[in-house]
């Protein structure tokens, strides 16, 4: 009897391993063959709120919500020139970003449906707002950076790197309850020719 149960458990474990490996990336993270780089960028472009995380020069973790605008596969955030975000991010230039993506429509008003998320590492460059005036980026940032704020603000340019780690994108609300089915790793830059 114990041998039969052990055999069934071993078979189930092997089947589970096969499911985890099927569609897994190089580091074992599930890949979503139906979720493309372009689809993730479209979701980022539709959203406007993100959580930006960084480490202070003293090594303390910090995060804050920011309103952003995406343009040219980059994100831009306007902050006060003398803000701690501007000072700390300029010092390290390394950040992590999470973009919540609302799911569930009207149902989310009635049931506790968490948002889907897109997370990634990025390089951040802090620009004085005036330095962007020569480029077309300033026109695209008008909603974030009205003319009266340009003298007192700076712009954080966020350049995503590596891969987007997504949760709940491209899957049904029901599958969001199963982490292995809801997670995906999608390259920030699409492969050439694909």
Q: What is the CATH number of the domain that holds 171?
A: 2.30.110.10
Structure-block tokens of residue 16: 């589970």
Q: How many domains does the chain have?
A: 1
- Could you report the per-residue pLDDT of 105-158, keeping only the tens digit for each? 777 777 777 889 999 999 999 988 766 654 566 667 767 766 667 677 888 999
- Could you report the per-residue pLDDT of 69-108, keeping only the tens digit for each? 998 899 999 888 888 888 889 888 999 999 999 887 777 7
User: 109 lies in a domain?
Assistant: yes
Average pLDDT along the chain: 78
Q: Give CA–CA dist 153/168, Å, rounded.
A: 35
User: 75 lies in a domain?
Assistant: yes
DSSP string, 44-102: HHH--EEEEEEE-TTS-EEEEEEE-EEETTEEEEEEETTSHHHHHHHHH-EEEEEEEE-
Q: What is the pLDDT of residue 146?
A: 66
User: 62 lies in a domain?
Assistant: yes
pLDDT band at 174 (very low <50, low <70, confident <90, very high): confident
Q: Give CA–CA dist 122/157, Å, rounded.
A: 10
Q: For residue 154, give the 3-state DSSP assignment.
A: strand
**pTM for this prediction:** 0.76
User: 114 lies in a domain?
Assistant: yes
Q: Find the domain containing 118 and state its range.
A: 31-187
Among 16, 23, 13, residue whose Cα is nearest residue 183 = 23
Q: Is residue 2's pLDDT more than 80?
A: no
User: 146 lies in a domain?
Assistant: yes
User: 58 lies in a domain?
Assistant: yes
User: 13 lies in a domain?
Assistant: no
pLDDT band at 14 (very low <50, low <70, confident <90, very high): very low
User: 3 lies in a domain?
Assistant: no
């Amino acid at each position: 009897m114990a041998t039969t149960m052990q055999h069934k458990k071993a078979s189930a474990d092997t089947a589970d391993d096969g499911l985890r490996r099927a569609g897994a990336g190089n580091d074992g993270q599930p890949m979503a063959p139906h979720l493309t780089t372009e689809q993730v960028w479209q979701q980022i472009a539709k959203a406007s709120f993100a959580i930006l995380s960084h480490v202070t020069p003293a090594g303390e973790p910090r995060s804050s919500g920011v309103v952003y605008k995406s343009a040219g596969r980059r994100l831009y955030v306007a902050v006060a020139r003398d803000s701690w975000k501007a000072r700390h991010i300029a010092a390290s230039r390394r950040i992590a970003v999470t973009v919540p993506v609302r799911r569930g429509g009207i149902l989310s008003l009635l049931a506790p449906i968490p948002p889907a998320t897109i997370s990634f590492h990025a390089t951040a460059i802090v620009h004085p707002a005036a330095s962007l005036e020569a480029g077309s980026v300033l026109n695209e940032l008008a909603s974030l950076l009205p003319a009266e704020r340009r003298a007192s603000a700076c712009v954080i340019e966020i350049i995503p790197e590596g891969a987007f780690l997504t949760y709940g994108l491209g899957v049904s609300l029901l599958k969001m309850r199963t982490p292995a089915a809801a997670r995906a790793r999608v390259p920030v830059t699409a492969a050439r020719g694909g």
